[in-house]
Structure 1
Amino acid sequence: MRCINEQGLALIKEFEGCQLEAYLCPAGVPTIGYGHTFAVEMGQTISEAEADALLRKDLKDAEESVDLLVAVPINDNQFSALTSFVFNVGSGAFERSTMLSMLNANAGADTVAAQFLRWNKANGEELSGLTRRRHAERALFLGKDWKLCLF
């Protein structure tokens, strides 16, 4: 199975942020590290190395989804951008997306990459953090420097 590359991992870390002490996310779920929620207890603390390990473990589902659902050859940056996207929106949303349909129909990279930018809303409202993340994922997908999107 393929794994996310270092650029993709750095992108996710940038946008997820890391908290080494458990906190309640906006949905009221105990969370730690880079958004890890499984078996987290309030008051729990972890090291940065543990946060990295949990993120790698949590990414497995997204990596497997991209590996399974993408039926055409893609490069490591494309795989990693898609993994970041799936980690954020979920595999079900990706499976039903126009982005995946276009990708599997061999649409050009620019055409597929433009689809990232459609996924920047929550409850119908555009979120600046999601807009920045989608621009970064698009850049990575196209093999460009995603860090230039941290505006």
Structure 2
Amino acid sequence: IGWGATGPGIVKGVKWTQAQADERLAQDVTRFLKGVQSAVKKPATDAQTGAMTSLAYNIGAKAFASSTLLRKFNAGDVAGAAAEFTRWNRAGGRVMKGLTNRRLDEQRVFRE
């Protein structure tokens, strides 16, 4: 539904208008942004914050909070953190081309 929303009330057959989908995306991005901001302990550029928020939106806040990417970033290893994006390209244990492309895009933004 919408832009990949999940959670209570989202079941097969539920339909949203474009406005509902856009509103939910805005709410989700705000929620994940706050989670990233609270987990990041070192100064981050807007691009780095955006890339990490995109990743967290896709993998979940808990996975992001316990990720090696975050640990490396907080330790000051920005290059090491950037390299971690491409490790998050699997679904069901299989490498997915779409996730690989998404991670490469996030990595590129992170490095800007």
TM-score between the two structures when normalised by the length of structure 1: 0.67
1:60 partner letter: T
For the pair shown, which has the larger CA radius of gyration, 1 or 2? 1
TM-score of the aligned structures, taking structure 2 as reference length: 0.88
Residues matched between the structures, number: 111
Cα pair distance change 1:45/1:125, threshold 3 Å: closer
Instruction: Looking at secondary structure, tell me which structure has more helix per residue.
Output: 2
Determine which of 131, 140, 144 is the counterpart of 2:100.
131
* Uncovered stretches (5+) of structure 1, i.e. residues with no partner: 1-31, 144-151
Moved more, 92-101 or 78-87: 92-101
Q: Does 1:120 align with 2:78?
A: no
1:79 aligns with 2:49: yes
Deviation, 1:113, is 0.8
Normalized per residue, which structure has more strand? 1
Name the % identity: 38
Q: What do the CA deviations read for 1:93-144 (whole angstroms, capped 9, x no partner)? A: 1111111111000113x3211100111112321111110010011011112x
Structure 1 segments, 4+ long, off by >6 Å, are: none
Give the corresponding residue for 2:19: 49
State the match for 2:80 in structure 1: 111
SS at match of 1:33: coil
